[in-house]
Structure 1
């Protein structure tokens, strides 16, 4: 496991009711979005910074193969149509072939699934690695076109759903601001 950070946070999340330790710093609204590199479905590296200039929703999930993660990813897939040019990224430690298989079976075509399995680059940068089980905690971040975090939610109980409506609203506002800035430039 890549240990680019020694930050350990306790008392902020549980998994199946048991306290867990999250590795990495807490990312908050107003912070500059940390860069990271993950793997795409084709096993090629994807650097977050390469997506700059657009609104991005980052949905962190433990595994696409679980009911709440499945629901969260499907909901974002449906929401993409109403979010303009916003990119929705679902990050898990599932291997890329498993992510591709799940997307095919679920009919998910608009969400980009990315694997943090190799280096935990995303998880450590955004403070969502569960130390005890090497999975990502459930969280949702919205990053605007200027790379500023405009929404951050760390779900206290990993098995519970995130507030998807709040994230979608934040993405909608960020996308509206991006389009308005483009017209006035």
Structure 2
């Protein structure tokens, strides 16, 4: 049974329980299997040799998640080909594709954790009460070591975009 972290965060001030370990800088990033669409899956290995910024959002159809994904899409333009930005949510792949098209988001790769929430559990962001993934950011180096991690203590708050981008840029230099 997976670890449960009670009162690990809040949603509008109400405590929520996160399932999975709290990952730290220096940890090896857990592998994952996420849906690109109904038939295709993506794993950590698919992005080998790249610096990975993983932006985790509960649902693209909410204001903060929308803004977070748009912001990292803008940042992607200046980070170069050695960096891949992944947005992970529990939205269905159809909804992710529709949202990206409507928002003009074309530089981030959206991946869905809808099937079994295995990403959420492996990265310690699965919200027990909602079966959604808690807002968080992970920067993973080319060797799959975690270089930066931010778990939001309040689900409705924005992550520190500048710190996340600075962590990516530090790996590029």
TM norm structure 2: 0.96
Counterpart selection for 1:67 from 63, 66, 74:
63
Deviating more after overlay: 45-54 vs 102-111: 45-54
Structure 2 unaligned segments of length 5 or more: list them.
Answer: none
* 1:64/1:102 contact within 8 Å kept: yes
The residue matched to 1:30 in structure 2 has which SS?
Answer: coil
Per-residue displacement from partner, 1:19-73 (whole Å, max 9, x unpaired)?
0000000111000011000001464111112212110000010000000000000
Structure 1 unaligned segments of length 5 or more: list them.
Answer: 177-185
The residue matched to 1:172 in structure 2 has which SS?
Answer: helix
* 1:41/1:99 contact within 8 Å kept: no
TM norm structure 1: 0.90
Aligned residues: 172
Once residues 156 and 9 of structure 2 are traced to their aligned partners in structure 1, the CA distance between those partners, rounded to angstroms, is 10
* Higher-Rg member (1/2): 1
Note if 1:38 corresponds to 2:54.
Answer: no
Q: CA RMSD in A?
A: 1.0
Matching residue of 1:152: 149
Note if 1:77 corresponds to 2:73.
Answer: yes
The 4+ residue runs of structure 1 with deviation greater than 6 A are none
